Amino acid sequence: KLQKQISPFRPEIFLNQRVDKIKEEKNKFFVSTSTDRNISARCIIIAAGNGAFGPNKPPLDGIDEYENKTLFYNIRNKKLFDNKTVAIAGGGDSAADWAIELSKNAKKIYFIHRRTKLRAAPNSVKKLYDLEKKKKIEMIIPFQLDSLVGDNGKIEKINVRNIDGKIKELDADFFLPFFGLSSELGPIKDWELEIEKNILKVDQSTCMTSREGIFAIGDICSYPGKLKLILTGFSEAAIASHSCYNRVYPEKVLHFEYSTTKGIKKLI
């Protein structure tokens, strides 16, 4: 519905990309995205919610070398694991559900968790232990991840340790750590903005950040008395938009009119 409402204004919408860099020259901003798109603008409004979501990565040395090769935080093609030995780490629903699903065609599944009790749904936990009896899954609990062994992005072994510190080696072709998601500001933290507890501080009357010409609305921004509601976010969007107009056209007076009485077509 929102897209339908804004369609008369013919906005350009770019999806599946992230703003990585902002450069300012002569009162104008130049924005670069993760798909190498370049955009110039007089004002910027940040509406990033709680930030960019990414996987919680286990603190293992050299983990980056294996990512998207033999280590994955999500599954897009489950056939990749057919007839392979797969180690899955985690104790929640994602870990349990994927262990159950992949066990249908995988050679073997190792299920690694640091506690004896899992957070997954009881029915899923029961299925895991039923599959262990059938030798499709081996429950490696309670064990902590210790290290990865491999070369050129190819995992060969996963070392885990028990509560006594004893190391156990697991031969594996793939490793799937499922420890949930975390939100982070990502590139926003490099844009020279005043940040407090991962939130951008703004002037309530304009929604402008500490940097002239850059505004923030929604859950990403904060000011005294802020309410994190969708209604508040819409209000902040209107405030920021009016502030942008005043910045771009300081010599003009913005005549405030209502689309409900005037009609959209007469306003554009």
pLDDT of residue 183: 79
Under a CB-based contact definition with an 8 Å cutoff, are residues 41 and 29 in contact?
yes
Strand partners, 44: 214
Q: Which amino acid, 41?
A: A
User: Facing residues of 54 across strands?
Assistant: 182
pLDDT, position 9: 87
Instruction: Give the residue extent of every domain in the chain.
Output: 2-51+185-267, 55-182
Angle formed at CA 151 by CA 75 and CA 110, multiple of 5 degrees: 45
| Segment holding 244, helix H or strand E | helix 230-248
Q: Do the domains 55-182 and 2-51+185-267 match in fold?
A: yes
Which pLDDT score, from 0 to 100, does residue 266 have? Answer: 65
Please tell me whether residue 175 adopts helix, strand or coil conformation. strand
pLDDT score for 168: 97
Measured CA angle at 233 (ends 255, 40), to 5 deg = 65
CATH number of the domain at 55-182, please?
A: 3.50.50.60
Sheet with strand 174-177: strands edge to edge: 137-140, 108-112, 85-89, 174-177
Q: For residue 257, what pLDDT is reported?
A: 76
CATH code of 2-51+185-267, in short, is 3.50.50.60
pLDDT profile of the chain (268 residues), mean per 10: 88 92 95 96 95 88 96 96 98 97 98 96 97 97 98 97 96 97 87 94 98 97 95 97 95 82 67
pTM: 0.66
